[in-house]
Amino acid sequence: MRMDKKIRMKARKVEFFYGTTQILHGIDLDIFENNVTAIIGPSGCGKSTFIRLLNRMHELVPSARLKGEITLDGKSITSADVDPVEIRRKVGMVFQKPNPFPKSIFENVAYGLEVNGVKDRHFIEDRVVSSLKKAALWQEVEKRLHDSALSLSGGQQQRLCIARCLAIEPEVILFDEPCASLDPISTHKVEELILELKKDYTIVIVTHNMQQAARVSDHTGFFYMGKLVEFGRTEDMFTRPREKRTEDYITGRFG
């Protein structure tokens, strides 16, 4: 029997608007500790919008408006008195396209610590090494830490971005289509990495690739037209979904 895990993040009655356009409608969703939660759905269903709410990235868009509540360990992350910088430290994000800074490999990973005011060089060096190791990149870069990050391959750049995210020791990591621009071998490495990281972190991944969701996740949520149509254990979602719209989407009968 699988034990029910602790819930780290909760979305309750989440409604989201850009201006007058409603993007999300009444989302209730639980994110379990040390689990990978996959969010799937067709383009425009609101899945990327949803995970951006989980670390308040949506606030970078002026007309964005959120109703409902999102909590981390039972505490609201959405109320006005919560510092979004603090939330983004706890809830890190890795994007679709690897976006390393035009700096050295070392500086990319150290960056988050430095902007958080860490000055101790030994501490920073240790953290850079451990983050690169956790991101399964260390062996490939240990002899070229001061080369430009842009000299790395796409797959390596993505793992570098994961290392950069790990360096500030987040608790939850959000992956927004992390393999969309990677070849199958790099994709495989990132998927292996996600499965390793879930031992220490809570992970949410948005993906268009259903096989990827099936391979890496423990729970899957299917979004359609801004609604959470179905949420359940991944093994159930991909063998016996309850909702016809889920069935139609994952078997490619949509539209």
214 makes contact with other proteins (CB under 8 A): yes
Determine which residue in the list 16, 106, 175, 238 makes contact with other proteins, applying CB under 8 A. Answer: 238
> What is the per-residue binding string for other proteins in 164-183, x denoting contact by CB under 8 A?
--------------------
223 makes contact with other proteins (CB under 8 A): no
45 makes contact with other proteins (CB under 8 A): no
**Residue 79 or 251 with smaller CB distance to other proteins:** 251
255 makes contact with other proteins (CB under 8 A): no
216 makes contact with other proteins (CB under 8 A): no
- In a 13 Å sphere around the CA of 239, the CA atoms on its Cβ side amount to 5
**Residue 36 or 152 with smaller CB distance to other proteins:** 36
Both tokens of 202, joined, read 């809570």
User: Residue holding tokens 């490619």?
Assistant: 252
In the β-sheet with 64-72, what is the strand arrangement from edge to edge? Answer: 21-32, 7-18, 64-72, 75-76
**Residue 231 or 238 with smaller CB distance to other proteins:** 238
Contact of 47 with 39, CB cutoff 8 Å: yes
Q: Which residues are CB-contacts of 60 (< 8 A; sequence separation ≥ 6)?
A: none
Stretch that binds other proteins, among 44-52, 129-137, 178-186, 207-215 (CB under 8 A): 207-215
Q: Which residues are CB-contacts of 30 (< 8 A; sequence separation ≥ 6)?
A: 7, 9, 10, 11, 231
In whole angstroms, how large is the CA radius of gyration of the chain?
18
221 makes contact with other proteins (CB under 8 A): no
240 makes contact with other proteins (CB under 8 A): yes
Stretch that binds other proteins, among 76-84, 129-137, 169-177, 208-216 (CB under 8 A): 208-216
241 makes contact with other proteins (CB under 8 A): yes
Minimum Å distance from CB 182 to other proteins? 18
Distance CA 192, CA 129 (A): 19
229 makes contact with other proteins (CB under 8 A): no
210 makes contact with other proteins (CB under 8 A): yes
Q: What sections of the chain are H helices per DSSP?
A: 47-53, 84-90, 105-115, 121-134, 138-141, 154-167, 184-197, 210-216, 234-239, 244-250
Binding site for other proteins (CB under 8 A): 210-211, 214, 238-241, 246-247, 250-253
